[in-house]
Amino acid sequence: MALPKLKTPEYRLLLPSTQEEIKYRPFLVKEQKILMIAQESEDENQLGDAMGKLVSNCTFGALNVNESPMFDIEYVFLQLRSKSAGSKVKINVTCPDDEETKVEVEIDLDEVGVQHSVEHSQEITITEDIKMNLRYPMLKDVKGINTNITEFEVGILMVYECIENVVYGEETIHRIDMTNDDIAEFIDSFTTSQIESVMKFFETMPKLRHIIDVTNPKTKKKGEVLLEGLESFLV
């Protein structure tokens, strides 16, 4: 006699980038195995591949993980984790008053969302007559990045990958019309203030953000801790 087939529940969510509604299901044991193997490997590329495969499978292919902003993928993954293993997680955070005391806090993942900054713009002014438009980083952009390079070097690589077009006066130069050498030379010619304005795009772009209240058990002082990015919410 054949074993019964289990019915997997389905849920719906709105993608932060487009507000498009998609269906999703919890991840299954076979998918959790893939994720655990990737986590144990401590290989960023393998972990990225596992997360992408899991998100794609659990959204029934509705989300193209190679063409979607990372904040969409991270938000969906967090929802999958909530519905698969429970919405409550406990993590350790550092008290802001002394910046050394660790406390354990419980977070409800269902209360975590992607927040948008009013200061954010995808159009960056380089000079009076030169503007640049950037797209949001995708999974394919962050995979393969050397983890031994500096944060600044990672930022430069992201600028290189995310340029969509450059507007020069009345002319718009699209990414498809740029050579790799042209892009590298263009970025290398930025002044310090210009590259800082470009980096602000990544600093202010939509991210998973959540603020929690903590009390330092040693000093009894209360404070707030800002959690950003998927890694802040995973144990």
Q: Say if 158 falls within a structural domain.
A: yes
Quote the strand ranges of the chain, DSSP E: 11-14, 21-24, 88-94, 102-108, 113-115, 123-127, 130-134, 163-168, 171-174, 207-215, 222-228
Q: Say if 171 falls within a structural domain.
A: yes
Do 130 and 179 share a domain, yes or no? Answer: yes
- State if pTM tops 0.85: yes
Q: Which residue has the higher pLDDT, 172 or 1?
A: 172
CB 92 within 8 A of CB 103: yes
Lowest mean pLDDT among 6-10, 167-171, 185-189, 205-209: 6-10
Q: Which pLDDT score, from 0 to 100, does residue 79 have?
A: 95
As for how many domains the chain has, the answer is: 2
Q: Say if 131 falls within a structural domain.
A: yes
pLDDT single digits (tens) 43-54: 777 888 888 999
Residue keyed to tokens 């990544």: 202
pLDDT single digits (tens) 177-231: 999 999 999 999 999 999 999 999 999 999 999 999 999 999 999 999 999 988 8
Q: Which pLDDT score, from 0 to 100, does residue 49 have?
A: 86
Q: Which pLDDT score, from 0 to 100, does residue 32 have?
A: 86
Q: Which pLDDT score, from 0 to 100, does residue 171 have?
A: 96
Do 82 and 12 share a domain, yes or no? Answer: yes
- The DSSP string of 82-142 is HHHH-SEEEEEEE-TTTS--EEEEEEEGGG-EEE--TT--SEEEEETTEEEEEPPPBHHHH
Do 69 and 19 share a domain, yes or no? Answer: yes
pLDDT single digits (tens) 62-113: 999 989 999 999 999 999 999 998 899 999 999 999 999 999 999 999 999 9
Q: Mean pLDDT score of the chain, rounded to an integer?
A: 91
Q: Say if 218 falls within a structural domain.
A: no
Q: Say if 184 falls within a structural domain.
A: yes
Do 140 and 197 share a domain, yes or no? Answer: yes
Q: Say if 1 falls within a structural domain.
A: no
CB 21 within 8 A of CB 13: yes
Q: Say if 156 falls within a structural domain.
A: yes
Q: Which pLDDT score, from 0 to 100, does residue 62 have?
A: 92
Domain that holds residue 72: 7-86
Residue at which a domain ends, from 86, 108, 133: 86
Q: Say if 179 falls within a structural domain.
A: yes
